[in-house]
Amino acid sequence: QTCALPISLLVVSYAAGAFALKRRLSAAGRSVLVASVLPFLLAGTLLVGNLEVSQKQTDLDFVVTPWLKDQAYQLTQRLFEHQVLPAGSFGDDPWDTTQSVAAVSSVMAWNHELARSYVSNIRQAVEFLEKAMLPSAGWSYVSPTAPAITEITSWVTVAYVRTLNPEVAPIIWPDPQQRDVMVARVGRNIRLILSRQEPSGRWLAIGHNPQSARTYSSIVALWALIEARRGAATSGQLGPEADDGI
């Protein structure tokens, strides 16, 4: 029951987002549409597993059934089929790409064979995101000329933290210096996210425009801060101001 509300919010957010995304891309090519929608499907599959965990409060190996693992594996492979190489993007924008990285990194944490097979793909996706970053601002939904949006920067942060999961980080980032770079990037992103928070606690979607405050920006920003705080590698990047923000 404690987890019911946040899980419901996640389900509603993803359902609404998938619907809006489908309408936005209805005129696009099939490949772009599939690459955009698959992260929602994969995240939904993982959400089912999380829901069972919260309800049964039992061992993860029992909850993540062979069927669920197989579904996540198949969706991940299909997602990689639509990755644009060598650019590294999923679809053609940071929004699709960062959600894809967050989703597949979650699967890789318990499927190391998958991680070893697609390790270069994840690195290329991360480098695409770094190149797409607007200097000292963050990331926009699609256009490099559009303003940076808080929730996209927050999604990137979640994705980066997921690649630093102790279960998969030595595979994706075998060199400790690579991991240090990623940890520093998370710290940079956290500072950008905190700079968008108002004293009331809400987050602004765009810069310092109070008219841009919205619930989704606040939810994803809060999620990113909590993910970073819980991360073994990234917790040290958060100071008292991050805890105050949470």
pTM for the structure as a whole: 0.77
Q: Which of 26-35, 64-73, 136-145, 179-188 has the lowest mean pLDDT?
A: 26-35
C-alpha 4/C-alpha 1 separation (Å) is 5
Return the pLDDT at 138.
93
* 52 pLDDT more than 70: no
Q: Which tens digit of pLDDT belongs to each residue from 191-242?
A: 999 999 999 999 999 988 888 888 999 999 999 999 999 998 998 888 888 8
Give pLDDT, residue 219: 93
Is 148 strand, coil or helix?
coil
Cα 7 to Cα 53, 79, 154, 158, 202: the distances in Å are 12, 24, 18, 17, 20
Sign of CA dihedral 180, 228, 142, 169: positive
Neighbouring-strand partners of residue 89: 84
Measured CA distances, 12 to 16, 78, 140, 185 (Å): 6, 24, 23, 30
Interval 61-108: pLDDT, tens: 545 577 778 888 888 888 898 899 899 998 888 988 999 999 899 889
What is residue 82's DSSP assignment? T
Residue 21 has what pLDDT? Answer: 53
What pLDDT, on the 0 to 100 scale, is given for residue 116?
94
Percent of the chain scored above 70 by pLDDT?
Answer: 73
168 exposed, middle or buried (CB, 10 Å; 0-12, 13-18, 19+)? buried
**Using one digit for the tens of pLDDT, what is the confidence trace for 156-169?**
999 999 999 999 99
The separation between CA 95 and the C-alpha centre of its own chain, rounded to angstroms, equals 9
pLDDT for position 122? 96
Cis peptide before 66 (omega within 30 of 0): no
Residue pLDDT, tens place only, 126-147: 999 999 999 888 998 876 678 8
